[in-house]
């Protein structure tokens, strides 16, 4: 049988870096093939070469046995290669169906296309409302749109880049079923991930990359996690240590009965949300994105001012009426979900981005910036969190997503906050660095910081949190002790509650039972 | 009653140059380009259309010449802003000033020469209805064309794939480029359309509204059109309502003077501009309204290489 796709000796060099070093691999029709590797191992570059978004310096690509001579995304799509990007290429100001229509050939008929989208999304268990404006969708929902968009093209090879990080365990199961079904129909799937269990569960073969080169091709089903990890990292996987928490008696961050109505289509209304975080503990908010997490976080950070000051309390004081700067002054630090634009100014240097939140740490004197101090601070963060950047003068947008994330998390942690809010702390960060970020979060909590983490990765929450709450349809569950709950219970709280079919009371019952 | 009829009909007529110029700019801005030179393009369209009538060319040809000269003027802006990626504010302002000067230069010999004006096109039967007939159905053809264009632009932007592509380019030219859209070419087409529409708006002033050439006869209508686009939050139908509002303001002010209203006429002339500012303030505070319709890449130059 001829392979669906075959790569021969692909090389790609950037100034100072070898992104892809003599990579060869082959994928058979109907095969689910994993590309395993840390961030910076060259996975993204390789995927872009396959998709034709960038050109290899040398090497050959064969599709169904035919040499692909000229390559670009349009040719890819003619060949039936579709890609779900990690950073979605969706337009925010237009609706879901309009976004999909842009990628479709043929007649421009939004009504018919909406029907197709609805049918397909239902068939594959990825509910998407075609009429909604993308701006109002959560990251998880946007990913669903991307996947549906690809599936509408009847792909022969589907490339997925870390697709499960935004899904509930049940949804991951569902996605895997979909992918297996697709594979059984003859579609080849290239699955990029760093999650070993997933790859073992889903994939037949895995090509492992490290530092731009193939370190091995393994049978994903029979090779042990330990072996795969060693091929990927080059050493043992780091483990986090988790000493018992000794939380304060009084909460330092508290939400009391926060209700916020939002107009339909502009997000999720919060309904009587209450939760508390004590000094010295980590509380996690689990839930599929788009269930009110973004709204809640913006009330906590101060980006949205609460109607009643008392609904958000910081260090025992009402804080709902304070703007973000005042809250930071009182000891709050915040890592938002979006790195570019909200967490950092894309066109400014790391040093200048450090000043944005770190200006209280001696970087401003008599109203003037102390660039030396700022550079020292930025350099310190770069070293401590091993951010891959040339120096403090590197522009934020020139860093890879994971590296920028490390910088932003590091910057906030270095401020030694009393309360730390973190949204998606390890999104797109490589395994080693993710473990380091998690360990640092545990460490600062044990030193007395109250940490609130919003994450869609359940594994992560179970690894670091002392207590968990689940958000669903703008409601927050009662707190669960991490040690006394399990994935199934949390997963049920995340998914079992459909806001469209259940009344408020039923949701409450299910959440609190 | 006849006064009321006169005010309504007058409002619709006074709004027509604004409808054309602002509708053109709306399309330009939806593609992510800010052309501040509407005033200049209107003046160029006005003087060339006037010249064409003066030279004895038929009226439709004169208006076409107005449109083409406006488009030609916008091409200057297009080359500067899109090909050479200069600052769009500067290029647009330059065009506004340039258009004023060039039109004055060309129009030196035309001063106070009367020309035949654009004939009315009474709609058969409808124009005979009492009250409504004289109010809505006894206009020149450009008034009807303006209304038609409002519908046509709305349909184009929100019902066709080309319109969708234009809007997505206005939001993120990088993403549009990434999916293979010819960003610069589409922006050029939008800019040319905007120029042609401003040219027609100007032509309307010099061959229909007041069939005369007077230096700087647009008297700030280009700037009002610019404000109207924001006022409309980039929606064609709201733009029409806004144009009527400002047109009505002009007419009321004229009527007020005729009635000897003891308000200084200079102050009354300033009312549309004041209203613009008030409206700008009010809508700028409504984030949701702006968020969905504002072209996010407005006035940012696009370099295809990324």
Contact: A266, B164; criterion CB under 8 Å: no
- Mention the CATH class of domain A246-331+417-513: alpha beta
**Which residues, in sequence order, are CB contacts of A375 under 8 Å at separation 6+?**
A351, A392, A393
Report the relative pairing of strands A368-369 and A364-365 from DSSP bridges.
Answer: antiparallel
pTM of the model: 0.73
Which member of B164, B175, B296 has the closest CB to residue A101? B164
Q: What is the pLDDT of residue B89?
A: 96
At residue A195, the pLDDT reads: 78
- Residue written as tokens 């007649």? A107
B161 contacts in A (CB within 8 Å)? 101-102, 108
Chosen for mutation from B168, B176, B295, B296 (greatest number of chain A CBs closer than 10 Å) is: B168
Q: How far is B293 from chain A (nearest CA, A)?
A: 7
In the predicted structure, residue A506 carries a pLDDT above the cut 60: no
Beta bridge partners of A334: A421
CB contact under 8 A, B288 and A266: yes
Helix (H) / strand (E) containing A39: none
Is A91 an 8 Å CB contact of chain B? yes
Q: What is the pLDDT of residue B111?
A: 76
Query: Domain A5-233, what fold?
Result: Rossmann fold (3.40.50)
Average pLDDT of the segment spanning A59-83? 88
Q: Which residues of B touch A98 (CB under 8 A)?
A: 164
- How crowded is the C-beta side of A151, counted as CA atoms within 13 Å? 24
ipTM of the complex: 0.82
User: Nearest CA of chain B to the CA of A89: how many Å?
Assistant: 6
CB pairs < 8 Å spanning A and B? 48
pLDDT given for residue B233 in this prediction? 85
Q: Looking at chain B, which residue has its C-alpha nearest residue A108?
A: B161
Residue A67: exposure state from Cβ atoms within 10 A (0-12, 13-18, ≥19): exposed
User: In chain B, what are the domains?
Assistant: 2-290 (1.10.3470)
Contact B175 A94 (CB under 8 A): no
pLDDT tens digits, A413-464: 999 999 999 998 987 777 777 888 999 999 999 999 999 999 887 888 999 9
pLDDT value of residue B306: 42
A342: pLDDT strictly greater than 60: yes
**Which chain A residues touch B165 with a CB distance below 8 Å?**
102
Tokens for B66, please give them.
Answer: 């107005």
Q: Of A125-134, A158-167, A391-400, B42-51, which gets the smallest average pLDDT?
A: A158-167
- The answer to whether A1 faces chain B, any CB pair under 8 Å, is no
Cα radius of gyration (chain A): 23
Tokens of B71: 């488009």
Nearest to B161 among A74, A92, A101 (CB): A101
**Confidence grade of residue B260 (pLDDT, cut at 50, 70, 90):** confident
Candidate ranges A217-231, B22-36, B281-295; pick with highest mean pLDDT: B22-36
Per-residue pLDDT, A508: 47
Least confident segment among A58-72, A129-143, A469-483, B57-71: A129-143
A75/A240: higher pLDDT: A75
Distance CA A458, CA A441 (A): 16
Q: What does the alpha-carbon distance between residue A205 and residue A199 come to, in Å, rounded to a whole number? A: 9
Using CB atoms, which residue from B160, B161, B171 is nearest to A93?
B171
Give pairs for A234-243: CB < 8 Å, separation 24+: A234/A210, A237/A431, A237/A435, A238/A431, A238/A432, A238/A435, A238/A436, A238/A439, A239/A435, A240/A435, A240/A438, A240/A439, A240/A442, A240/A463, A240/A464, A241/A439, A241/A442, A242/A442, A242/A463, A242/A464, A243/A442, A243/A446
What is the predicted pLDDT for the residue at A507?
45
Domain boundaries in chain A? 5-233, 246-331+417-513, 341-416
Q: State what percent of residues in chain A have pLDDT above 70.
A: 92
**Residues 173 through 192 of chain B touching chain A, CB cutoff 8 Å:** 175-176, 178-180
Q: Do B171 and A92 touch (CB under 8 A)?
A: yes
Hey, do A5-233 and A246-331+417-513 end up sharing a CATH topology, with the first three levels equal? yes
Q: What is the mean pLDDT of residues B121-148?
A: 90
Q: Which residues have a Cβ under 8 Å from the Cβ of B90 and sit 6 or more positions away?
A: none
């Amino acid at each position: 049988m001829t392979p669906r796709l075959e790569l021969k000796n692909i090389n790609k060099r950037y100034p100072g870096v070898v992104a892809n070093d003599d990579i060869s691999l082959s994928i058979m029709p109907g095969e689910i093939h994993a590309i395993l590797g840390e961030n910076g191992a060259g996975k993204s570059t390789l995927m872009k070469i396959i998709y034709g978004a960038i050109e290899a310096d040398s090497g050959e690509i064969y599709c169904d046995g035919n040499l692909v001579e000229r390559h670009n995304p349009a040719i890819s799509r003619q060949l039936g290669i579709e890609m779900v990007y990690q950073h979605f290429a969706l337009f925010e100001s237009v609706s879901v169906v309009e976004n999909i229509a842009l990628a479709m050939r043929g007649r421009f008929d939004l009504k018919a296309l909406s029907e197709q989208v609805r049918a397909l999304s239902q068939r594959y268990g990825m509910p998407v409302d075609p009429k909604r404006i993308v701006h109002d969708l959560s990251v998880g929902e946007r990913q669903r749109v991307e996947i549906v968009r690809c599936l509408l093209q009847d792909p022969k090879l589907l490339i997925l880049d870390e697709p499960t990080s935004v899904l509930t365990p049940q949804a991951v199961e569902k996605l895997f079923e979909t992918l297996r079904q697709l594979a059984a129909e003859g579609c080849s799937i290239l699955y990029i991930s760093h999650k070993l269990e997933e790859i073992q569960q889903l994939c037949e073969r895995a090509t492992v990359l490290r530092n731009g080169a193939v370190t091995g091709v393994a049978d994903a089903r029979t090779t042990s996690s330990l072996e795969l990890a060693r091929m990927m990292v080059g050493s043992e996987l780091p483990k986090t240590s988790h000493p018992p928490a000794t939380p304060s008696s009084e909460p330092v961050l508290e939400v009391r009965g926060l209700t916020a109505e939002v107009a339909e289509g502009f997000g999720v209304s919060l309904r009587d949300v209450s939760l508390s975080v004590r000094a010295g503990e980590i509380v996690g908010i689990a839930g599929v994105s788009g269930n009110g997490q973004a709204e809640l976080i913006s009330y906590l950070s101060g980006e949205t001012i609460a109607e009643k000051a008392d609904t958000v309390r910081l260090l025992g004081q009402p804080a709902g009426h304070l703007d973000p700067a005042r809250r930071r002054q009182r000891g709050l630090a915040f890592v938002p979900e979006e790195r570019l634009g909200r967490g950092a100014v894309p066109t400014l240097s790391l040093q200048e981005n450090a000043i944005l939140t770190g200006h209280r740490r001696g970087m401003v004197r008599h109203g003037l910036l102390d660039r030396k101090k700022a550079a020292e601070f930025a350099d310190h963060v770069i070293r401590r969190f091993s951010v891959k950047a040339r120096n403090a003068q590197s522009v934020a947008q020139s860093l890879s997503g994971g590296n920028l994330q490390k910088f932003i998390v590091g910057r906030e942690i270095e401020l030694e906050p009393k309360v730390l809010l973190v949204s998606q702390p390890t999104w797109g960060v490589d395994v080693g660095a993710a473990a380091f970020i998690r360990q640092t979060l545990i460490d600062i909590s044990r030193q007395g910081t109250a940490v609130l983490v919003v994450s869609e990765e359940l594994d992560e929450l179970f690894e670091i949190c002392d207590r968990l709450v689940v958000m669903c349809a703008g409601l927050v569950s009662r707190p669960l002790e991490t040690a006394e709950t399990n994935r199934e219970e949390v997963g049920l709280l995340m998914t079992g509650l459909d806001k469209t079919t259940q009344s408020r009371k039923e949701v409450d019952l299910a959440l609190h039972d | 009653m006849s006064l009321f009829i006169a005010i309504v009909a007058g409002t619709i007529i006074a709004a027509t140059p604004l409808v054309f110029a602002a509708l053109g700019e709306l399309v330009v801005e939806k593609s992510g380009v800010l052309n501040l030179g509407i005033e200049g393009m209107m003046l160029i369209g006005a003087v060339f259309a006037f010249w064409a009538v003066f030279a004895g060319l038929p009226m439709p040809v004169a208006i076409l010449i107005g449109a083409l000269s406006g488009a030609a003027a916008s091409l200057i802006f297009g080359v500067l802003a899109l090909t050479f990626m200069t600052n769009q504010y500067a290029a647009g302002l330059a065009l506004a000033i340039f258009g004023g000067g060039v039109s004055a230069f060309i129009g030196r010999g035309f001063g106070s020469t009367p020309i035949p004006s654009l004939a009315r096109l009474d709609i058969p039967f409808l124009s005979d209805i009492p009250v409504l007939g004289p109010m809505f159905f006894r206009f020149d053809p450009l008034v009807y064309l303006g209304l038609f264009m409002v519908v046509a632009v709305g349909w184009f932007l929100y019902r066709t794939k080309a319109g969708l592509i234009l809007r997505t380019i206005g939001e993120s030219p990088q993403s549009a480029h990434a999916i293979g859209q010819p960003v610069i070419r589409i922006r050029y087409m939008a800019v040319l359309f905007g120029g042609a529409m401003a040219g027609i708006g100007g032509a309307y002033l010099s061959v229909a509204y007041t069939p005369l050439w007077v230096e700087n006869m647009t008297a700030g209508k280009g700037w009002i059109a610019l404000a109207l686009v924001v006022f409309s939050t980039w929606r064609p139908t709201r733009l029409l309502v806004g144009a009527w509002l400002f047109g009505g303001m002009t007419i009321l002010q004229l009527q007020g003077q005729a009635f000897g209203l003891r308000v200084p006429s200079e102050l009354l002339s300033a009312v549309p501009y004041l209203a613009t500012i008030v409206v700008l303030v009010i809508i700028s505070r409504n984030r949701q309204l702006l968020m969905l319709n504002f072209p996010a890449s407005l006035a940012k130059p696009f370099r295809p290489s990324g």
